[in-house]
Homo-oligomer: A and B are copies of this chain.
Amino acid sequence: MDNNDYSDELYFSGMTEKQKKIYESALEIFAEKGFSGTSTGEIAKKAGVAEGLIFKHFKNKKLLFQKIAFMAVEKTILPLTILRTKKILSENYTDLRFFLNLFFNERLDFIKKHRTFLRIIIQEMSFDAELQNFAKKQFTEKMFPMVSEFIKRHQKKGVIIDLDPSIIIRMVMSSFLGYSILRFILSSDEEWDDDMQIKSMIDILCNGLIKRK
């Protein structure tokens, strides 16, 4: 994973040079080949360390993978998503369409950048209840209240239809998740007009969510 939009140093504090190398190499190979498709030997080779060192530092392969997955979710995916969301929502002039537009485009860029790794995260999540719960908890505690409050505010203004915010959020998330999966995981290398597609999707969503007079 590249580090254009966040600083790595934070998460690597306390790691030796070699430990970092292991972490980074493992991240790349896991992303490309999945958990069971990756061997510790390959990781060690890529990292330029002795295979035994992996086990000194990360106990075993599963834990290495989980540490990477958790750290990716905890330190990168969620904070960035939350941070950006907070920023977008904090603007006074932000309405639903504006929010969805920025959110979808930004998150899609993020997915574009990290897609191989995200694929692994999703797959791992579908087997790993702990990672699931962690992500859900983070979302529920940090993302949900923020967005929910935004929706409620606009509902009070009579702009958004009167549905339970959680339902609206789930609808928006579902659309985005489904779109991303069709877009990236299934149709990996398609020519695809994202701008138009997202605009249409948002049009329909806004059409469905915004109150008429």
Main secondary structure of the interface of A (DSSP, over half): helix
A174 neighbours in B (Cβ, 8 Å): 174-175, 177-179, 181-182, 201
The answer to whether B182 and A173 touch across the interface, beta carbons within 8 angstroms, is yes
Q: Is residue A167 within 8 Å, beta carbon to beta carbon, of the partner chain?
A: yes
The answer to whether B185 and A178 touch across the interface, beta carbons within 8 angstroms, is no
A32-50 interface bits toward B, Cβ cutoff 8 Å, 1 = contact, 0 = none: 0010110000000000000
A167 neighbours in B (Cβ, 8 Å): 197, 200-201
Measured CB to CB, the closest approach of chain B to A27, in angstroms, equals 18
Q: Is residue A176 within 8 Å, beta carbon to beta carbon, of the partner chain?
A: yes
A97 neighbours in B (Cβ, 8 Å): none
Q: Is residue A157 within 8 Å, beta carbon to beta carbon, of the partner chain?
A: no
- Chain B residue with minimal CB distance to A167? B200
A197 neighbours in B (Cβ, 8 Å): 167, 170
A173 neighbours in B (Cβ, 8 Å): 178, 182
Copy number of this protein in the oligomer? 4
Q: How far is the CA of A203 from the CA of B204 in the complex (A)?
A: 12
A209 neighbours in B (Cβ, 8 Å): 204, 207-208
Given A206-B208, A208-B206, decide whether A170 and B182 contact each other with a Cβ distance below 8 A. Answer: yes
The answer to whether A132 and B182 touch across the interface, beta carbons within 8 angstroms, is no
Q: Is residue A83 within 8 Å, beta carbon to beta carbon, of the partner chain?
A: no
Q: How far is the CA of A177 from the CA of B126 in the complex (A)?
A: 15
Q: Is residue A188 within 8 Å, beta carbon to beta carbon, of the partner chain?
A: yes
Known: A136-B187, A163-B204, A171-B204; 19 extra A-B contacts, CB below 8 A, are A34-B127, A36-B36, A123-B126, A126-B185, A132-B186, A163-B200, A167-B197, A167-B200, A168-B204, A170-B179, A170-B182, A171-B201, A173-B178, A173-B182, A174-B178, A174-B181, A175-B175, A177-B177, A205-B208
